[in-house]
Chains A and B, each alone.
Chain A
Amino acid sequence: MNKIIEKQQLSETVFKFVVEAPLIAKSRKPGNFVILRIGEKGERIPLTIVDSDLEKGTITLIVQTVGATSAKLCKLNTGDFITDLVGPLGKATHVSKVGTLLAMGGGVGNAPLLPIVKAFKEAGNRVITVLAARNKDLIILEDEMRKYSDELIVMTDDGSSGRKGLVTDGAEEVIKREKIDECIAIGPAIMMKFAAMLTKKYNIPTQCSLNTIMVDGTGMCGACRVTVGGETKFTCVDGPEFDAHKIDFDELLKRLGAYKKEETEAKNH
């Protein structure tokens, strides 16, 4: 079970894996994620299911190395096995015909964004996608996104690809230019916070997919809790997508740093 069928490097720190998981491939929907563990002493981490192939019984994962576990995963090769893989978890994205969707992706956030962009396009929407990263080498999935977008805008901090600026700069131009019915923003928490502030200004309904810390991913521990509209929610079972204008991003940003000290220790030993 859970054999790696294919591995591909997308950028310096981002890898794509195609993994055998026939049951998950069959039941997953856009927005769902898996939890996996590498080795008997490994930690459980969540990763979005980017794509699936029903015939081959595989799912696609895209992972950026940030700490111990993502680094361990990225060292695995075709033919290796993932110790534990469970899913699909989380609520699926609510996909419908809304008119025009503006999708914003930052960094590895493009991975969870891709299946959503694809689903909205297939549901008959006009899709405008703005991708952003620090520089040209860090932009991932550009070609795949282009395939499912009516228009694709690339933004980099240093102008090495597309235009110079932040994701919100590109998005605001689009919003000023034409009527946007719905937005979705996925990326680092700080980027989602500013994206949410932007679309709030223009009163456009917006979803964000949150990348909280998780342990079990089934609603058992509460490590993934966030405040949405003043209420505590569990990202793994109530989300991962929430109404961006109701999310307490400052709390989320603090909670993401909860284990910084411990994680640095884990990486160094």
Chain B
Amino acid sequence: MAEQRLTVITGAARGIGETIAHRFVNGGDKVVIGDVLDDVGSETVAAIEAAGGSAAYYTLDVTDEASVNGFIDQVEQDHRPIDVFINNAGIMQDGLTIEELPMEHHDRVWDVDYRGVYLCCRSIVPRMKARNQGVIANVASLYGMRPYAVTAYSPAKTAVIALTQILAAECGPHNVRVNSVSPGYVHTPQMQDRFDRGIRKIEPMLKDAALGRLTEMQDVAEAFWFLCSDRAKAITGTNLPVDCGVLVATPYKAYPS
């Protein structure tokens, strides 16, 4: 068998990133989690190790260039060259109009959701290029594919998709693949919290999805697992929606009947 792959996942202390971490560990990878949530992240690693998997936690603030560079240096020094890098760290914005959304909130969203991805790519790309090997996968969003009423988050995710395509072209000659996954209407603990607090309602979301259900975090993790595997060796520069068909059902259902 080949040597164990090393997969780094940012923001994987909890949520979708945590689920991706479990999926990659189950597939046989060693997983490094980089996050600002030290306690939660350490618990996630402990749970993986208790189940017989291999994982490690590092503090990583993707908005801080020194933190990003130091993290990647340290991980490669402590373990091995990073084979797979998953940019998952992200924050959501409140549903406010452009004039209502404070610029501090806008800037914070871009700092984490786009600039953080950019910084991580900027740091990992030269290493992967030099090794002529590597896979980068970004968490984009359904909201990055269509104009949803989140004026900071939606354009930032569109930018992630654009960067994914550009880097796929730039890194292709070096045999490095770059793809993104666009989850939509995912049943995360944060989403459940919004349901519980009455900020979002589940029924209209179920109606929006062609398959009539919310996307599970595991569904997203499976797409990442496939795209980062050698079975997808011919796939680069793509953005794969995992949304139970929200993208297609939205216009379909809007047509007068």
- Do A and B originate from a single complex? no
Binding site for B on A (CB under 8 A): none
Binding site for A on B (CB under 8 A): none
